[in-house]
Amino acid sequence: MNDIALNIEHLKSSIPEGVTLVAVSKTKAVEDIMEAYRVGHRIFGENRVQEIIEKYPLLPDDLRIHMIGHLQTNKVKYIIDRVKMIEGVDSARLLGIINREAEKRDLVMDVLLQFHIAEEETKYGFALEEVQEIQENGILDEYQNICIRGVMGMATFTDDLDQVRKEFKALKRYFDFLRNKYYSDIDTFNQVSMGMSGDFRIAIEEGSTMIRVGSAIFGPRIKH
Ligand SMILES: *Cc1c(COP(=O)(O)O)cnc(C)c1O
């Protein structure tokens, strides 16, 4: 087996059952993705629309792609029928556009609400009050073509693991709050996407159900 296959198998055997591994294949070649595919892996993360459009026609149909990057509203239409989940939803407007485009294609898109948990201003995401406002305005009830599956967040890029843990705890608190208040009888609101190559073990300890791991599988990236 090559490194990618070994990394995948090792990771899968070391994470608890019930935690979904999203193999982040951004910037990586189709051949690399196929190495993971051949050992049975199916869920991949990408962060750029252009890359999804270019790579995925060359790959098997049963690959499930998660859009994990910031998504511009005018690009939703290009990926709406190619991705399984849009993880980084960070505005009410984007929710509306995803719903509209999904409706046109007669599908229901799984989405995660991205929260801003890091210290960096450059990272995207809602504040809790913004999501409460969306919930309480009732617009989500009108959106029949999106399914809110849970929350997503990215911790600060730092060696301070206490800081990272604190941020993951915050995301889990937001999830619990929303579930108790708005989703208590909706079983599909059940995902907490947090944890990357450097911090997924901490994320799992703090209640992650979905980790997004790139470099620990595919090796370091040259760009973004
Ligand atoms: C690139 C990326 C990852 C994976 O990062 P690694 O450190 O390579 O594991 C996870 N989540 C998001 C949103 C990313 O952009």
Is 214's C-beta closer than 6 angstroms to any atom of ligand 1? yes
Q: Give the pLDDT score at 26.
A: 97
Mean pLDDT by 10 residues, the chain (224 residues): 91 96 97 96 98 95 96 97 96 97 98 94 90 93 96 95 97 98 96 97 98 96 70
- How many whole angstroms from its chain centre is CA 175? 14
The answer for 5, left when phi > 0, alpha when psi is -120 to 50, beta otherwise, is alpha
Q: Give the pLDDT score at 224.
A: 54
Residue nearest to atom 10 of ligand 1 (CA): 212
- Terminal CA-to-CA distance of the chain, rounded, Å? 28
Is 123's C-beta closer than 6 angstroms to any atom of ligand 1? no
Is 24's C-beta closer than 6 angstroms to any atom of ligand 1? yes
Angle between helices 92-104 and 128-137 (to 10 degrees): 50
Q: Which of 20, 22, 24 best tests ligand 1's pocket when mutated (most atoms within 8 Å of CB)?
A: 24
Rounded to the nearest angstrom, the distance between the alpha carbon of 141 and the centre of ligand 1 is: 31
Q: What pairing do the DSSP bridges indicate for beta strands 191-193 and 43-46? A: unpaired
What are the tokens at 205? 């300890």
Q: Give the pLDDT score at 125.
A: 95
Q: Give the pLDDT score at 1.
A: 66
Report which ligand 1 atom has the smallest distance to the Cα of 22: 10
Is 23's C-beta closer than 6 angstroms to any atom of ligand 1? no
Return d(Cα 212, Cα 46) in angstroms, integer: 10
Rounded to the nearest angstrom, the distance between the alpha carbon of 51 and the centre of ligand 1 is: 15
Closest C-alpha among 167, 211, 209, 205 to residue 188 = 209
Q: Give the pLDDT score at 60.
A: 96
The answer for 195, left when phi > 0, alpha when psi is -120 to 50, beta otherwise, is left
Is 20's C-beta closer than 6 angstroms to any atom of ligand 1? no
Rounded to the nearest angstrom, the distance between the alpha carbon of 155 and the centre of ligand 1 is: 11
Query: pTM (2 decimals)?
Result: 0.96
The b/e string for 177-204 (b: 16+ C-beta within 10 A; e otherwise) is ebbeebbeeeeebebbbbbbbbbbebbb
Closest C-alpha among 72, 76, 74 to residue 98 = 76
CA distance to 1, 69, 116, 172, 174, per residue, from 152 (Å): 32, 11, 9, 9, 10
Closest C-alpha among 78, 110, 94, 103 to residue 191 = 110
pLDDT, tens digit (0-9, with 9 covering 90-100), for 50-62: 999 999 999 999 9
pLDDT, tens digit (0-9, with 9 covering 90-100), for 85-138: 999 999 999 999 999 999 999 999 999 999 999 988 888 899 999 999 999 998
Q: Give the pLDDT score at 123.
A: 81
